[in-house]
Amino acid sequence: MAVLAACASLTCSGDDGTGGDRVLRGVVYTTEPVVGARVTVRSLFNDFTYCTDVQTADDGSFVCPILAGDDGNWYVVAEGGAGLPAGTTLRGGVLDVVPLEERTITVSPVSDLAVALADARVAAGKDPDRIAAYHTAVALFDAHWDTDPFDADVLDLSAPSSLDDGAKLTLAIHGLAQLAAQAAVEQGVAAGSLTQLQLLALLRQDVAAPGEVFDGEGGALRLGTCADGLFLCEVGADSLRGYLGGAILAFARTPANGTGLGRDDLLTWLERLRTNAEPQLFGAAAVGPFDPLAPTVSWAAPSEGTTFTAGESIAIDVSAADANGVASVTVEVVGATATVTDTDPSPERFVAMVPVAGLPEGPLTLTATARDLDDNTASASRGVVIDQVSGGTISGTVTKGRVAGATVTAYRYGNGARG
């Protein structure tokens, strides 16, 4: 990845033997460099082909010479190679290149969405030509992502970083992949069965529909079954706003994020992403949350239906999980006054010992409630039985001779009185 960042960084200098008046250097990237992709570069003005079937190297990079006399506005198409299934393309654009200039591009799902928006605007007559539409799309996406969808560099996620243009682009790319993965979990399907590229294809369909915006109004654009409690199944504005922001926050908590950037570093940027109401991008779609999903709550102890007698304590062990982080777990003894003190320092787990003394006789319900960092809550209960009266079982053996039909009486003493 370090090599990738160097190749796709600022303009390289020196004669590389291409012989072109201008040089385009780039990288093709999904969540990793795409090796062996075929790259074609054409003029946005007249579709003249400058490079065709140029292959990306092991770091996903490519170089294309551009002939003198070109108008300086190009579009780039990458297909094939490791990571791009047959029939899948990623697209990007390069604008306003002057003679003798070398330019760079990152061809990614983010750049592809900008191209999809530009193409939709041209088809609808919203811009006079492709070059104007590409300029509009770049301006809208730059304002939304706070980074250029074509020019920003891919970040090396294994190294500490500030929240610069490259970090925002790279986190947005990985956020799309994380969002697809979260949708798979929500649908209860195998990891990897819903992918970033499938999500990208649906977003393309969305913006190509009448309105030419990302609003989910172009038809049944779904990643799976939609029902009560399922939120990520539908593709629309929040796929690029709140839900994407939540997915980026979730990705930031994974080991793959070695940048040191966490929730506190990202929240201001992502809140602006979440609340963007730009009508040329999202139509009239209402603003949604970062994370619509409640945490999951799991009881480790006690077991359901366990009976506890006088003198014992109830061992409580509850855990919660959430992709965006758990803020707290609490446990309540329903219908009883009892002090339940958590002894585990982590917010994701609640561990306590509750003495049976003072608890009411009979069935008792323990309810655990988890709250995530976006204030979604979920609860799960566990039922136990309190037996304050029973003295337990007494057993004995007569060892002197055979006794048949004898009566055995057991006495219980409390405060010196026989009962």
List pLDDT tens digits, range 87-102: 899 999 999 988 778 8
Strand order across the 326-334 sheet: 307-309, 377-387, 362-372, 326-334
> Tokens representing 144?
């939304």
Specify the pLDDT at position 58.
Answer: 96
**Paired tokens of 90:** 């990623």
Residue 8 has pLDDT above 90, yes or no: no
Q: Are 2-107 and 296-387 in the same CATH fold?
A: yes
The burial class, CB within 10 Å (0-12 / 13-18 / 19+), for 363 is exposed
- Dihedral over Cα of 204, 206, 209, 215: its sign: negative
Give residue 68's pLDDT.
60
- For residues 208 and 122, the answer to whether their CB atoms sit within 8 Å is no
Checking DSSP bridges between strand 307-309 and strand 377-387, what pairing results, if any?
parallel
Max CA distance (Å), the chain: 119
- Read off the amino acid at residue 30: T
Q: How many helices (H) and strands (E) does the chain have?
A: 8, 16
The letter for the amino acid at 408 is: V
> What pLDDT is recorded for position 10?
29
Residue 2 has pLDDT above 70, yes or no: no
Superfamily for 2-107?
Immunoglobulins (2.60.40.10)
Band of the pLDDT at 391, cuts 50, 70, 90?
low
Residue 108 has pLDDT above 60, yes or no: yes
CA-to-CA dists, residue 127 to 75, 121, 124, angstroms: 17, 6, 8
User: What is the CB neighbour count within 10 angstroms for residue 313?
Assistant: 12
Taking Cα atoms as reference points, which of 324, 189, 304, 174 lies closest to residue 246?
A: 324
Contacts of 400 (CB under 8 A, 6+ apart): none
Mean pLDDT for 268-295 is 91
Domain edges within the chain: 2-107, 296-387
Residue 192: pLDDT band with limits 50, 70, 90? confident
Average pLDDT over residues 290-304: 89
Calpha distance 138→24 (Å, rounded): 18
Q: Residue 190: its pLDDT value, please?
A: 78
Structure tokens at 217: 């109004």
First-to-last C-alpha distance (Å) of the chain: 80
How many whole angstroms separate alpha carbon 6 and alpha carbon 93?
A: 20
Phi, psi of 86 (to 5 degrees): -55, 135
Mean pLDDT highest for which of 18-22, 182-186, 197-201, 414-418? 197-201
| pLDDT for 188 beyond 70 | yes
The type of residue at 317 is D
| Mean of pLDDT over the chain | 85
Rounded CA gap, 247 and 176, in Å?
7
Q: Among candidates 119, 132, 96, 113, which has minimal Cα distance to 22?
A: 96
Residue 5, pLDDT score = 38
pLDDT digits (tens, 9 = 90+) for 312-364: 999 999 999 987 788 899 999 998 888 899 999 999 999 999 999 989 999 99
Looking at the predicted structure, is the pLDDT value of residue 69 above 90?
no
- The whole-number average pLDDT for the span 15-35 is 78
Determine which helix (DSSP H) or strand (DSSP E) holds 184, and give its type and residue range: helix 165-187
Residues in the chain: 419
Q: The whole model's pTM is what?
A: 0.77
Are 108 and 75 in contact, with CB atoms under 8 Å apart?
A: no
Six-digit token string for 246: 């939540």
* 50 residue type, one letter: Y
146 conformational bin, left if phi > 0, alpha if psi -120 to 50, beta if neither: left
Q: The domain 296-387 is classified under which CATH number: 1.10.1050.10, 2.10.210.10, 3.40.50.2300, 2.60.40.10? A: 2.60.40.10
User: Please, which residues have CB within 8 angstroms of residue 113's CB and are 6 or more apart in sequence?
Assistant: 141, 149, 200, 203, 204, 207, 240
- Token digits for 85? 């299934």
The structure tokens listed for 296 are 């999951």
pLDDT of the residue at 402: 54
Question: Tokens at residue 237, please?
Answer: 């504005």
Confidence of residue 219 (pLDDT cuts 50, 70, 90): low
Q: Which helix (H) or strand (E) holds 132?
A: helix 130-145
Distance CA 316, CA 300 (A): 8
**Distance, C-alpha 69 to centroid of its chain:** 45
